[in-house]
Structure 1
């Protein structure tokens, strides 16, 4: 799985933790001693960012001896990354590599739970994540979501036309949007036109206007299932998504409505995975 991280980005991660030198290793006079570092799972997880962690260790002067691929589903006490080198190299890369893998694996593991739970009742459903990741971490968050079997809702404002209530305020509401639909089609011939609605009434209005995707925002589950069935009967090519408060506790219920896409931020919020680290002299 490949998400681009420049050498400069990797270097900045290291420099944040080691701005000049590892003072402790230097002061103890152990920097030139040779050793190994091993990272292993402390519980089952879907791992992520092993590739970036390996690049961190290499940048610090270590050699990577063993590495599992991001997206691998691991059992407890499974070796995921091993490197060898001087104590200076190993200690310089240790914490940065660990943080990358623990945080990314947490997102990947939560995404995997959502995907597996939803697909158990609806094999054609897609789990996609929002832009609500912590600022500055989008590339890593995207990689983690992909590692967990999910996909991204959109990467930024420049790539999709997704109309919210906040846009409608400046258009005069749903009526104003409908009046602009033909103009939008001419302006964006290759892009899908997507609209978020918070009521069944508005869903029917924008469906009739010819949008490509409707995103339900916090519409009660009891209303979504009959709405999905009726909309798909009348507009078979229309894509339907649900957003707002979708978590591992209710994802199965949402998936069982027959909806096409579930939009969620929940994988970003939770505990990092717990990865153990051991060093030894060689």
Structure 2
């Protein structure tokens, strides 16, 4: 599973933790001794960022011998990454590699729960995540979501036309938007026009205006199910998404409404996974 991380990005992660040297390893005089490091799961999880963790260790001078691929569903006490090198290399990369895998695997595991739960009632539904990840972690967060079987809603403001109420303030509301729809279609012939609504009335207005996707925000499930059915009957090519407060506790209910896309931020928030680390001394050649 490939999401681009430059060598400079990997180096910055290491430099944040080792700005000059590992003072403890240096002071103990053990830096040149050879050792091996192993990372393994303490509980079942969907693993992510093993590739970046391996690059961290390699950048520090270690040699990676084994790693599992991001997206692998791992059982308890399963080996996920193994490397060898000098004590200096292993200690320099240890914590950075561990943090990457624990946080990313937490996101991947929560995403996997959402995907598996939703698909028990709606096999065709897509689980996509928002841009609400912690600033500076988007690439890692997106990789983790993909590892968990989800997808991303949008990566940034430059790639999609998604109109919110905050935009409508400057357009004169839904009516003003519908008057601009033909102009938008001429301007953005390659992009889909997507609009978020919070009332059934607004949904019907933008559907009639010819939008490609309607995103419902915080509409009650009891109101959503009949609305989705009627909109799909009248506009079969219209895509429907729902956002706002979707979690593992309610995702099955939202998926059962028949929408195409469930938009959530919940995978980003929660405990990291717990990964064990063991080091052992190797004989010098």
- Is 1:205 matched with 2:188? no
Equivalent residues in 2 for 1:92-107, closer than 5 Å: 92-107=92-107
Residues of 1 paired with 2:131 and 2:214: CA distance? 18
Residues of 1 paired with 2:83 and 2:12: CA distance? 21
- Is 1:89 matched with 2:122? no
Secondary structure, in 3 states, of the residue corresponding to 1:38?
A: strand
- Is 1:7 matched with 2:7? yes
Residues of 1 paired with 2:162 and 2:71: CA distance? 29
Residues of 1 paired with 2:40 and 2:252: CA distance? 31
- Is 1:189 matched with 2:172? no
- Is 1:261 matched with 2:266? no
TM-aligned CA deviation for residue 136 of structure 1: 0.3
Match of 1:70 in 2: 70
Secondary structure, in 3 states, of the residue corresponding to 2:134?
A: coil
Secondary structure, in 3 states, of the residue corresponding to 2:219?
A: coil
Match of 2:55 in 1: 55
Deviations 1:173-204 (A, max 9, x none): 00000000000000000100000000001000
TM-aligned CA deviation for residue 101 of structure 1: 0.2
Equivalent residues in 2 for 1:107-186, closer than 5 Å: 107-186=107-186
Q: Provide runs of 4+ in structure 1 moved above 3 Å.
A: none
Secondary structure, in 3 states, of the residue corresponding to 1:30?
A: coil
Match of 2:43 in 1: 43
Residues of 2 paired with 1:109 and 1:242: CA distance? 22
TM-aligned CA deviation for residue 111 of structure 1: 0.3
Residues of 2 paired with 1:163 and 1:219: CA distance? 17
Deviations 1:3-41 (A, max 9, x none): 000000000000000001000000001111100000000
Give 5+ residue unaligned stretches, structure 2: none
Residues of 1 paired with 2:11 and 2:174: CA distance? 48
Residues of 2 paired with 1:126 and 1:219: CA distance? 19
Deviations 1:99-135 (A, max 9, x none): 0000000000000000000011100000000000000
Aligned length: 282
Deviations 1:198-242 (A, max 9, x none): 000100000000000000000000001000000000000000000
Secondary structure, in 3 states, of the residue corresponding to 2:262?
A: strand
CA RMSD of aligned residues (A): 0.3
Residues of 2 paired with 1:180 and 1:19: CA distance? 53
Residues of 2 paired with 1:137 and 1:109: CA distance? 17
Residues of 2 paired with 1:85 and 1:170: CA distance? 60
Residues of 2 paired with 1:174 and 1:8: CA distance? 45
TM-aligned CA deviation for residue 143 of structure 1: 0.2
